[in-house]
Structure 1
Amino acid sequence: MIVFDLACAEGHRFEGWFGSSTDFAEQQDRGLVACPHCGSAEVTKAPMAPAVPAKGNSRPERMPAVPEPSQQLANVPMSPEVKKALAALAKAQAEALKKSTWVGDKFADETRKMHYGERDEAPIHGQASLSEAKALIEEGVPVAPLPFPVAPPEKLN
């Protein structure tokens, strides 16, 4: 996971978490990166202090499903209540994903098939572009974004 400081054309600064620099570029190209304050899609990487990584032999074997309480989750201090709520939300998402199947970039097609009865309904998660998500919503297909980023199974450590 990599964290970038981002800024929109309106000058709002915020943080974004991505699987890699390539993931950021791909999501930006697909219109999936937007300012949480004003919704602007004109987002660029903001200058930031370099992160000094831990020793290579001390990496965890898998990414944690729930952010550790010591991890910085925002660019301003959060109250203990907010930290607790975010941890509970991350835990609930991790539990829900255990019962869900990753369908990758076929998410829009698979969701549409379930909606129109062309395949059995089942919990799935994956990736969809902003235009694909808007088209699904306009068709009345029930979809919702996940609150926290999800790495594809093949990108987990």
Structure 2
Amino acid sequence: MKVLNLQCTHQHSFEGWFASEDDFQNQLSRGMIECPMCADKSVQKLPSAPRLNLGGHPSGQDLADQGKQASSSRAVALSSAQGSHDVAAVTGAPSGRSPAEQAAFLKALRHVMAHTEDVGGRFAEEARRMHYGEQEARSIRGQTSAREAVELIEEGIDVMPLPLPAAVKDTLQ
């Protein structure tokens, strides 16, 4: 089993597990590999060094600092998503983030996916119905145009653009 460090053209880094180098090249040539953050199929293999266990462990402070960084990123993403009843999904994802930040971002997206109803292209209509009391309030997500999202905000309806990679709908490993 080969574990490869991969990166898309938007500089999102991720891991891929393959039976062999040939398996990686075969899947890449058939367009079967895509970035879990933005679904970009233009992926390249990064140079990597083998992992050597030399008995050294990160200090307790290093682990605590890593945990604080990951949880603060997660808290920002979740509080924004949970603070609103309406969530508009648009394409795109933050680039240039560390692997820990990308992982926190994906975890927050999975939380939103698990706790909201996908109303698809009916997002603006559903958000208005809930806002004006025509329908019971619930957490929703869906797609709408940027112009429609601005109109919802101008009406006083809380919406939040949410970068939602296509891969989040599937099980990510």
TM-score by length of 2: 0.44
Report which of the two has the higher share of helix.
2
TM-score by length of 1: 0.47
Which has the greater radius of gyration? 2
